Amino acid sequence: MAVHCDICGIEALESERFELKQLPFRPAKRYCPACERKYQFSIYTLTALVPVAFLILGILQAWAGNKPLLQTRGVWWTCVTLLQWLMVCLTSWVTP
């Protein structure tokens, strides 16, 4: 029985294996390597946009409240998120 990608419909070659991913609140889907890369890229892009949204909200909050930039929650959450990513990256580089 041939295995198909649930996203693009391409059929797997004889030795090729498609990943079955269980997504939260959705049925499991099979992804070919190209569709899996697109899916991972969209997840990483969404994750990277969260601190940008916090930063924009912090800047707008500082501008509307006539406060210094570092006294807004959005800017602080951006700093916390970036510091967390930095610690994770350093830990992954140091740990073999």
pLDDT tens, position by position, 4-53: 888 898 888 888 888 888 878 989 999 988 999 998 898 889 888 988 88
Q: State the alpha helices, DSSP H only, in the chain.
A: 33-65, 73-94
* pLDDT at residue 50, rounded to an integer: 87
Rounded to an integer, what distance in angstroms lies between the CA atom of residue 14 and that of residue 16?
6
Write out the E strands in the chain: 19-21, 29-31
**DSSP-derived 3-state class of residue 30:** strand
Query: Which residues are within 8 A (CB) of 17 and not within 5 positions of it... i.e. 6 or more apart?
Result: 3
Q: Could you say which DSSP state residue 71 is in?
A: G
Q: Find where tokens 């707008």 sit.
A: 60
The residue written with tokens 């949204």 in the block is 53
- In this model, does residue 95 exceed pLDDT 80? no
